[in-house]
Structures are given as C-alpha cells and as structure tokens.
Amino acid sequence: MNTIHELSYLKEQIEELKEQGVYRKLPVFDGPNAARIHLNGKEVINLSSNNYLGFANHPRLKQAAIDAVEKYGVGAGAVRTIVGNMDIHEELERVLAEFKREEAVMLFQSGFNCNAGTIQAITDRGDVIISDELNHASIIDGVRLSRADKKVYKHSDMEDLRRILEECKGKYNTQLIITDGVFSMDGDLAKLPEIVELAEEYGALTYVDDAHGSGVLGENGRGTVDHFGLHGRVDFIIGTLSKALGVIGGYVAGSKVMQEWLSHRGRPILFSTSLPPAAVGALIEGIELLSSTDEFTKKLWDNARFFKEEMKALGFDTGQSETPITPVIIGEEGETMAFSRALLEEGVFVSGIVFPTVPKGTGRLRCMITAEHSKEDLKEALEAFARVGRKMNLIP
C-alpha cells in the first residue's frame, strides 16, 4: 500500500497529545442523558451535560416527537428553500418568537451552524466585527467566514471595547459587536447593559449568542436579553435548542427584516436539510412546557446555588461563575485530566476541559448542574470532589 494513506502526519500529532496527557477516547453511555447515566458499564452521577432542565428525556417531549414522526415521517426531505419547510417548522418559529418576546425567529439546524451561517450573511466587506476574546468556537468560525474586518476585545473589558469602537469610528459601513450571553467555559454573564449602551453611543449593532442563557436566565428561561430587560435593543439573539431545550437546533431571534434576509442568504438554510419532524415536534412541546411553568428553572437555580456554595466551602476555586455552569479550576492540563479520571473512579462524571478549549494553565472540571439532579446526587458528587481534592492536595 502507498504509505501516504497511513496519515503519518496525523499519527505524529496524536502521539504528541498522548505525551501531553490530553489524549482521550470519546466516552460512551447507554440510555438517556439523565442525572445518573450508565457509562462504560458503570452507573455514575452525570455532571457534564447541557441538559439543564431534563428535557432531553422528558415524557411530554418524547411523546410529541413520536406523534410528529407518525404524522410527518423521519426526515424533512430537502432544504427549507426547496421543499423542506413543513408547517411545523413555521409553527416552531412562531412559538419561539413569542416565547423570546421578539418579532421573528429564523430556525437553523444547530447553534453551531447558526453562527457559522448568520455572521457571514449579515456582514460584508467594508464592515467590522468586534468580538469578545472568549466567544464560542462557532462564533470564531462564523467570523472567519465573513468578509468583514475583525477586531477582538479583552474579555468583558468595556474600556477595551470602547477603545476599538473609537478606533473604528467613521471607517466602516456597519459595526457588529458579538458576545456570548453566558460564557460557556466560565459561566459568567456578558455585561450586556453596558455593551448595548456603548453600541448605541457608537451606532453599532449587537449580536448575542445565548446558547447557555436560553432556558436558564430571564423569565421562565427567556434568556439573557430578557434577564437584563433589553428587548428591542439587541439586534441578533442567537439561541440553541440543543441545551436547555434538550433536542437539537439553533435560531436567531430579532426583527422581521433579519428573518427575511436570512431566509435568502443564510447558507445553512439554503444548502442543508431542515430539522427532522421529531425534533421540531418535541421542541414545540418543550417551549410550551417552559412557558407554562417556572418549576424547571427554579429547581435548576436552587441546585446550582447549593452546589456552588458547598464547593466554595470545601475550598475549591469556582472562578467567576454566575450561572449553573460551575468551573472548578485545577490549572495544569495533565493534572486536570487526572482529577477527572479520579472522579470517575469515585462514580462522578465531570469532563476535564483544557487547552485549546480554554487558555493554557486554566484547566478545569466544568460541572454542569441541572434541574434533574436530586440533592442526594449533588451531595454524593461533593463528597467525591472532597476526597479527590484532598488526595491531590488541592484543598485543605
């Protein structure tokens, strides 16, 4: 065989990962994503999922998915602009817009492809994108696909943002400020009121990726914009349907003009098949459920507060988190992964997050607290953290 097919250039890089102690196999679990999962043949407490409200396995969403399959089949059959636009896709957009208290919604197949498709569609040569340095990878990729100039401001640093806006003044057609609503690796909130003030002062547009804010913050989980009372002042509000809503999909909420334009120029809308009926049916039910009660978001926050306070009391560093995302900062990459492996031995599954997902030397165990965890689950997890933390001399 021709040796070129051995992909030795990739093999060498994989060896490097092993030397750095960051090589890993993808974890496999059987059964639904829940508070406790069956992972590699053993029951463990799951502190790793984005299934904030337990909707990924909620009976009402499951039944709605089954009903949608019965009525519409398993696939949409085409991209939306051809013949993949079912009435339920339009209904989902309508209920989402109402829930988000915005004029219109454009649906995408994932949060990732929503950013990849939207940013390039709404900016062009002669524009500038101003992005927080800790924005999500899908924003970074979306920005790369745009012809606009790119600037990055220091994380949540309003002085630095103002400096860049000042520098760009008068030089561009459109200025677009992009930020995560909730930063996914630290759990801190964007300084949205200040960002919006600055944007209005300098005539810039605002784009907020609220993947971790949707279903978590605001009234019944309406998101960061609702939390800060900024309706009508953020131009593009991105959400995911894959995290708190437990299914799959992404969307932009905002004005009708935004929706009209993206339906013509959003490349994932034009070139990728629309969401399958099961997902759409489940999502409509999920939004109805979320609109009807605050029971899920209340439980989520109650659990998150409890876990964070106990973690601090043990002496762990939980960083700047203001949300259910609770990072436990360990530092060095190899040590972070070793901590994660030791926790798994103790029956707690928390994935270690290291460079390049977070900056070098800030490796962490990112604990994701959900409404589905019982106090027992959380107490057991805390005890395991305490045992491993003491063994590794990270806490007293």
Ligand X SMILES: *Cc1c(COP(=O)(O)O)cnc(C)c1O
Residue 123 CA from chain centroid, whole number: 23
> Cβ 240 to ligand X, closest distance in Å?
4
> Cβ 371 to ligand X, closest distance in Å?
18
Q: Is residue 80 a contact residue for ligand X (CB under 6 A)?
A: no
Which one of the spans 25-33, 88-96, 110-118, 258-266 is the region binding ligand X (CB under 6 A)?
A: 110-118
Given candidates 44, 148, 198, 211, which one binds ligand X under the rule CB under 6 A? 211
Q: Is residue 186 a contact residue for ligand X (CB under 6 A)?
A: no
Type of residue found at 88: I
Q: Is residue 143 a contact residue for ligand X (CB under 6 A)?
A: no
* Rounded Cα distance, 389 and 69, in Å: 47
Residue 129 CA from chain centroid, whole number: 21
> Cβ 227 to ligand X, closest distance in Å?
16
Given candidates 52, 72, 99, 112, which one binds ligand X under the rule CB under 6 A? 112
Q: Is residue 324 a contact residue for ligand X (CB under 6 A)?
A: no
Residue 122 CA from chain centroid, whole number: 21
Number of residues assigned to the chain? 396
Q: Is residue 184 a contact residue for ligand X (CB under 6 A)?
A: yes
Catalytic residues: 184, 212, 243
Q: Is residue 111 a contact residue for ligand X (CB under 6 A)?
A: yes
> Cβ 136 to ligand X, closest distance in Å?
3
What token pair was written down for 66? 């089954």
What token pair was written down for 262? 């993206």
Q: Is residue 250 a contact residue for ligand X (CB under 6 A)?
A: yes
Shortest Cβ contact with ligand X: which residue? 111
> Cβ 167 to ligand X, closest distance in Å?
26
Which one of the spans 108-116, 169-177, 258-266, 309-317 is the region binding ligand X (CB under 6 A)?
A: 108-116
Which one of the spans 9-17, 52-60, 209-217, 225-233 is the region binding ligand X (CB under 6 A)?
A: 209-217
Residue 133: Cβ within 10 Å count? 13
Given candidates 80, 136, 364, 373, which one binds ligand X under the rule CB under 6 A? 136
Given candidates 102, 209, 285, 372, which one binds ligand X under the rule CB under 6 A? 209
Chain residues binding ligand X by CB under 6 A are 110-112, 115, 136, 138, 180, 184, 209, 211-212, 240, 242, 250
